[in-house]
């Protein structure tokens, strides 16, 4: 599997990856891979799979133009709908993509509003309910593309929060398969202090500078995100924190569900309040299956290779 090495940032024939140029040529539907050389440069820059059919296009949802992507193995036997974490985008999810494609899953996902190649105020959202509209848009796209069932769901961090919201408050779909929650967000770490800071800052600032830290043991990934990725937001909008503050009490008060997601969580996670969050998940769901990694930090889909191998082996057994 490729690491985030600076040696793979561009294709000589296609030129360096230029996000604005790629955004400008995206078509309204995921009908083909006509983004051409821009798509090749994007794949090369982020080390994404290049031996499978890959389509990239625009998906209009609730006033946003979202960059959606589809990967297809030769004979897909199921589908994985993928939701990334806060500050992330699909370009960072090559390890998870490879595992899913090797399992025979088609993979469908999009950059969330304000992230990656999608439109919207950077790293911001008005209400978390907008994320449910995005998920509904992916379901509609999967149906229009006639992607194979079951449709499994996977989300990292905020992506996990979106799926948690769907599982607790949404109507089950007949195509629905298993749900994988990677370090799902319920409450961030030190949430009470963050909430106090938000209330003090809200009248005076629309955003504060983002603080980067090592949320993975993969040093090359951390260096890439902090120093080389042109799609990384550089600020934390107070509007996003406000939306989170309104979402948390709603989701913690949601009725219990009979669904049984699979939760992957690292005990070295310094981003979310994982002890509190696991308690919420165990109270809300019917004996959710847990994969606990004592060493792992927050960004599980880009953790150290041996840690990824451990949970991917467990997931492969689960889906075989």
Q: Let me know if residue 1 belongs to a domain.
A: no
Region 90-119: mean pLDDT is: 98
| 304, 307, 312, 313 alpha-carbon torsion, rounded to 10° | 140
Q: Does the pLDDT at position 114 exceed 80?
A: yes
Token pair 């993975």 in the structure block, residue? 216
Q: C-alpha distances in angstroms, 31 versus 26, 54, 64, 66, 145?
A: 11, 10, 19, 15, 9
Q: Domain with 235 in it: what CATH number?
A: 3.40.50.1820
* Domain range enclosing 149: 10-319
Q: Let me know if residue 4 belongs to a domain.
A: no
Question: Structurally, how many domains does the chain consist of?
Answer: 1
Q: Let me know if residue 147 belongs to a domain.
A: yes
**CB count in 10 Å sphere of residue 249:** 9
Q: Let me know if residue 2 belongs to a domain.
A: no
State the Cα–Cα distance between residues 135 and 258, nearest whole angstrom: 21
Report percent pLDDT > 90 for the chain: 82
Q: Does the pLDDT at position 46 exceed 90?
A: yes
Per-residue model confidence (pLDDT) at position 32: 60
Q: Let me know if residue 264 belongs to a domain.
A: yes
């Amino acid at each position: 599997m490729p690491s985030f090495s600076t040696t793979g940032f561009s294709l000589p024939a296609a030129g360096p990856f230029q996000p604005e140029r790629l955004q400008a040529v995206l078509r309204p539907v995921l009908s083909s891979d006509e983004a051409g050389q821009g798509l090749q440069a994007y794949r090369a820059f982020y080390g994404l799979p290049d031996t499978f059919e890959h389509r990239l296009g625009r998906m209009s949802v609730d006033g946003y133009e979202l960059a959606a992507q589809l990967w297809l193995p030769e004979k897909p036997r199921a589908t994985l709908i993928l939701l990334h974490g806060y500050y992330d985008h699909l370009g960072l999810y090559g390890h998870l993509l490879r595992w899913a494609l090797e399992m025979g899953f088609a993979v469908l996902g999009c950059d969330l509003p304000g992230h990656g190649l999608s439109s919207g105020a950077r790293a911001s959202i008005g209400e978390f309910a907008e994320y449910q509209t995005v998920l509904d848009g992916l379901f509609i796209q999967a149906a229009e593309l006639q992607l194979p069932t079951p449709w499994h769901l996977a989300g990292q961090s905020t992506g996990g929060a979106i799926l948690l919201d769907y599982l607790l408050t949404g109507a089950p779909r007949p195509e629905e398969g298993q749900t994988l929650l990677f370090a799902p967000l319920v409450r961030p770490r030190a949430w009470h202090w963050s909430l106090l800071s938000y209330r003090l800052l809200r009248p005076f600032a629309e955003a504060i500078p983002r603080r980067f830290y090592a949320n993975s043991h993969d040093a090359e990934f951390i260096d890439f995100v902090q120093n080389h990725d042109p799609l990384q937001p550089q600020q934390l909008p107070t509007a996003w924190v406000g939306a989170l503050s309104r979402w948390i009490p709603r989701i913690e008060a949601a009725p219990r569900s009979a669904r049984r997601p699979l939760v992957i969580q690292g005990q070295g996670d310094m981003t979310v309040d994982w002890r509190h969050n696991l308690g919420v998940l165990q109270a809300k769901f019917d004996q959710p299956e847990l994969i606990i990694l004592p060493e792992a930090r927050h960004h599980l889909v880009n953790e150290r290779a041996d840690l990824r191998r451990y949970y991917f082996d467990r997931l492969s057994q689960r889906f075989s």
